[in-house]
Amino acid sequence: MRWNDIREDWDSYLPAITKRWPAADPEVLRSLGGFETDLALYLSGVTGTPARQMLDELEDWRITDIGNRTRDDAERPLYRITRISAGSTA
């Protein structure tokens, strides 16, 4: 998922952000408008994590937490392995 997609639907991501970073104030988050750098700077101030490291954490969050959220049945693997017996067709 691209960051622009997150920004377009920003309010729907606020619960996931506050779950990952509980010290974040939802009202402040809402005012950031979904801009990654602004979010990183805000979370850096709230958590004490250096801003560059926070950008890396946001990238990890975007790929892992949010990447899984966009799939139906995110708990399931992306593929399914099945056994095909001799003589049967797939």
Q: Within a domain: residue 36?
A: yes
Q: Within a domain: residue 90?
A: no
- Total domains present in the chain: 1
Q: Within a domain: residue 82?
A: no
d(C-alpha 17, C-alpha 25), whole Å:
10
Flag the least confident range among 6-10, 14-18, 68-72, 84-88.
68-72
d(C-alpha 19, C-alpha 72), whole Å:
20
Flag the least confident range among 8-17, 30-39, 78-87.
78-87
Give per-residue burial for 35-72: e unless 16+ CB within 10 Å, then b: ebeebbebbbeeeebeeeebbebbeebbeeebeeeeee
* Average pLDDT of the segment spanning 22-33: 97
Q: Within a domain: residue 77?
A: no
pLDDT, one tens digit per residue, over 38-69 is: 999 999 999 999 999 999 999 999 988 777 65
Q: Within a domain: residue 86?
A: no
What does the pLDDT read at residue 81? 45
Structural domain of residue 8, as residue ranges? 3-69
What does the pLDDT read at residue 85? 57
